[in-house]
Amino acid sequence: MEEQILLLKQEAINAFSAATKMEELESLKAKYLGRKGQLNSLLKRLPTMPQEVRPTLGKLLNQVKSDLENVFEEQTARLRRAELQAKLESEKIDITMPGLPFDAGNRHVLTAITQEIIDIFSGMGFEIAEGPEVETDQNNFVALNIPKDHPARDMQQTFYITSEILLRTHTSPVQIRGMRARYPRLPVRLIAPGTVYRRDQADARHSPIFHQVEGLAIGEGVRFSDLKGTLLVFARRMFGPDTVIRMRPSYFPFTEPSAEVDVSCTVCKGKGCRTCGGSGWLEILGSGMVHPSVIRNGGYDPERVTGFAFGMGVERIAMLKYGIDDLRLFLLNDIRFLSQFH
Ligand code: DAH
């Protein structure tokens, strides 16, 4: 019987070691070590053996049993490691594989242009100022030399909240607020981006809501040539280094003298084309030397300081820069349009 036990032991060890799956190992365990297993059936035969060999055989059977249990544990650990390894191999991520593309979105073209304008003027020492969109008639008109009965109001028929409060029609009231907030500091150099409102029917060239950037510089000895130089730098940064500007005499109640500023046509470079109506020039903004009474309304002494101001439409700059021909596109939220500007 001893030989049989040792043979069984060797057979079981070989079988455990050859197992490649946990289920296989489990059924081998039942076969050799289970209640109805082979080791147990040898144990059951023990009482039939001669009295004197029983203790030795009993001891041997127990020893083999615990040896086989150890082998089973070792083999279990081996298979678990192998299974984990296989799992890791099959689930390995290839980090060199290109990722799935996703839409990241982009700034609205008006936000981007406004930021570009701000960047250009900050580079020349202008600080950003803001004013409310709900403004007083006083700041929006009166302090800018546009009294109650002034015909200049006709062009800006607007949204009144009370007879004295309205949605601002331009960013020029920030000139007044900006000077008052800074007095007596000199020089004052600010740009004021923001939304403005006018009672206009929307079409390709009109919108009841649009955006402007106002500029103001106040100081001792500020001259018209400073205005021209500043705007030339702006035009070249915005539209390209070959751009030239021209200033035409104009009229605004809050500047004297006043000038309208044109840039050489961004499409034909000044030769004359459809975009510029054959003239070679495109109008981009209004400007001038700040009227003495506006300087006084801002709290400064027009005998001591002078200044220049300008105001431009953000939509217009965007239209000229990108050849956009309909103002409504800015408000329509059409992804096909908006995603073109990064
Ligand atoms: N506020 C004017 C408008 O909305 C634009 C403008 C013209 C602003 C001349 C200025 C300026 O500061 O000097 O039409």
Has residue 103 been placed in a domain? no
Q: Convert the pLDDT of each residue in 76-134 to its tens digit.
A: 999 999 889 989 989 888 889 888 888 888 999 999 999 999 999 999 999 999 999 99
Confidence at 241, pLDDT banded by 50, 70, 90: very high
What does the DSSP 8-state code read for residue 336? H
Residues 169 and 220 grouped into a single domain = yes
Has residue 247 been placed in a domain? yes
Number of domains in the chain: 2
Residue ending a domain, choose from 22, 55, 90: 90
> In whole angstroms, what is the distance from residue 116 CA to residue 333 CA?
21
Q: How confident is the model at residue 326, as a pLDDT?
A: 93
Residue 342, pLDDT > 80, answer no
- Outline where the chain has alpha helix (H): 2-18, 22-33, 38-45, 54-90, 109-122, 137-140, 173-182, 224-239, 292-297, 314-322, 335-338
Residues 149 and 246 grouped into a single domain = yes
Residues 18 and 138 grouped into a single domain = no
* Separation of CA 121 from chain center: 23
Residues 201 and 54 grouped into a single domain = no
Has residue 80 been placed in a domain? yes
Residue ending a domain, choose from 90, 124, 147: 90
Residues 225 and 167 grouped into a single domain = yes
Residues 8 and 80 grouped into a single domain = yes
309 CB within 6 A, ligand 1: yes
Peptide bond into 187 cis (omega under 30): yes
Å from CA of 205 to ligand 1 middle: 18
Q: Which residues of 115-132 are buried (b: 16+ CB within 10 A; e: fewer)?
A: ebbbebbeeeebeebebe
- 147, 175 Cβ separation under 8 angstroms: no
Q: How confident is the model at residue 250, as a pLDDT?
A: 98
Residue ending a domain, choose from 44, 60, 90: 90
Residues 271 and 165 grouped into a single domain = yes
Confidence at 158, pLDDT banded by 50, 70, 90: confident
Residues 168 and 306 grouped into a single domain = yes
Q: Which pTM does this prediction carry?
A: 0.73
Å from CA of 312 to ligand 1 middle: 7
Q: Which residues of 148-182 are buried (b: 16+ CB within 10 A; e: fewer)?
A: eeeeebeebebeeeeeeebbbbbbbbbbbbbbeeb
Residues 237 and 140 grouped into a single domain = yes
Residues in the chain: 342
Has residue 102 been placed in a domain? no
**Candidates 228, 287, 293: which one to mutate for ligand 1, based on the most atoms within 8 Å of Cβ?**
287
Q: Which domain holds residue 192?
A: 109-341
Has residue 95 been placed in a domain? no
* Separation of CA 154 from chain center: 40
Confidence at 156, pLDDT banded by 50, 70, 90: confident
Has residue 267 been placed in a domain? yes
Residue nearest to atom 12 of ligand 1 (CA): 310
CATH number of residue 171's parent domain: 3.30.930.10
Residues 145 and 274 grouped into a single domain = yes
Å from CA of 167 to ligand 1 middle: 16
Has residue 129 been placed in a domain? yes
The DSSP secondary structure of 175-213, one letter per residue, reads HHHHHHHHTT-S-EEEEEEEEEE-----SSS--SEEEEE
Residue 267, pLDDT > 90, answer no
Residues 78 and 148 grouped into a single domain = no
Residues 162 and 285 grouped into a single domain = yes
What does the DSSP 8-state code read for residue 36? T
